A = this chain, B = another copy of it.
Amino acid sequence: MIKLLIGKGLEADMKKETFSISEFAKSTGVSVRTLHYYDEKNILKPKRDEHTGHRVYEQEDMIQLHKIMTMKFLGMSLDEIKAYMQANTFDLSFIDTLRLQESKLIKDREQIDIALDAIQRTVYLLENEKEVDHAVLISLLASMQNEKKQEELAKGIIKDDVMKKMFPQTAKEKMIFEQGLLTFYKRVRKHFGKSADDPEVQQMLDDFYRLILEVVGMDSLKELTDIFSLNIEDKENEERIEAYIQEIERLVPSPITEEEEAWLGQITTDYMGPLWDEEEGEN
């Protein structure tokens, strides 16, 4: 910007007109190899010294190289750049190219944002836990990786108002939930095989139940269990739910073994079942 205010033309110090490749490289900041490469690929072909065969760069090449660097900065490939290097003005088609670049970059940025979020949440968990099982962490990360996809899938089978309560919304909620899940899985590993009478097992289930309630809320939980309870009255709906579960399983691997899952299902019905039946009875 400033430069424009100066009018350095006054000095008129006609600088050295030509550069050797290393001088040119230094003054432009690109590597010698890159200049070789651009020459080889017919993107920037400087004159040659007839006798020595050395490349001789001039001011004009400087301008060309600036073009190249600029278009690279916009995210274009050298092939695209080569195509645009011919013409001397940018016209409307260049706008389209820019627009295309724009949407590409926006997509990239979204991916990066998701990954960053996942990383930050993971770092937080690791800092508190010191050591975490592979499977559990992978499961969580996979879950973060496609939170959006999961929500969209869920939209197909769950009503909007329930949806809003179903997924942890704030960053804090998410962290609490994930933290809770981690400790829960640890305890699953630890107590696996014990009976539903065991107090530690009961404590584990209580804590887990409370965690879910904390995030989801009682009424939403009711609705959820209604949806997923196998009251098979609606064939079509059941198929949709089945497909949904399949897809989620593909996206998010289970952090525990099938045996552990089975055991968990067993003790849950053993322990919680009576409670739920009681509540049902109240209606």
Bits for A123-157, please: 1 = Cβ < 8 Å to B, else 0.
Answer: 10011001111110111011101000010001000
- Please tell me if the beta carbons of A261 and B7 are within 8 angstroms of each other in the complex: yes
Report which of B12, B89, B262 forms a contact with A133, defined as CB distance below 8 A: B89
* Beta-carbon contact of B127 and A3 below 8 Å: no
Report yes or no: B88 in contact with A133, Cβ–Cβ below 8 A: yes
A275 in the interface (beta carbon within 8 A): no
Interface residues of A in 74-106 (CB under 8 A from B): 74-75, 87-92, 94-95, 98-99, 101-102, 105-106
Q: A98-B123, A134-B89 are in contact. Are A250 and B28 (CB under 8 A)?
A: yes
B-side contacts of A98, CB under 8 Å: 119, 122-123, 126
A243 contacts chain B at the CB level, 8 A cutoff: no
B228/A5 in contact, CB under 8 A: yes
Whether A232 sits at the interface, judged by CB under 8 Å, is no
Question: How many residues of chain A get a CB closer than 8 Å to chain B's CBs?
Answer: 93
Question: Does the CB pair A150–B1 fall under 8 Å?
Answer: yes
- Secondary structure at the A interface, as helix, strand, loop or mixed, is helix
How far is B29's CA from A74's CA once the two chains are assembled, in angstroms?
A: 31
* CA distance in complex: A101, B122 (Å): 12
Nearest-CB distance from A34 to chain B (Å)?
Answer: 16
Q: Which of B4, B94, B109, B181 contacts A112 (CB 8 A)?
A: B109
- B145/A8 in contact, CB under 8 A: no
Report whether A142 and B69 are in contact in the complex, using a CB–CB cutoff of 8 Å: yes
Contacts of A87 in B (CB 8 A): 134
Interface residues of A in 206-265 (CB under 8 A from B): 212, 224-225, 228, 245, 248-250, 252-254, 258, 260-265
Closest 4 CB pairs of A and B: A9-B262, A7-B265, A9-B265, A9-B261
- Given A95-B123, A101-B119, 16 additional A-B pairs, CB 8 A: A1-B143, A1-B167, A2-B228, A3-B254, A6-B228, A7-B269, A9-B260, A9-B266, A10-B266, A12-B262, A66-B139, A66-B253, A95-B127, A102-B123, A105-B115, A108-B108
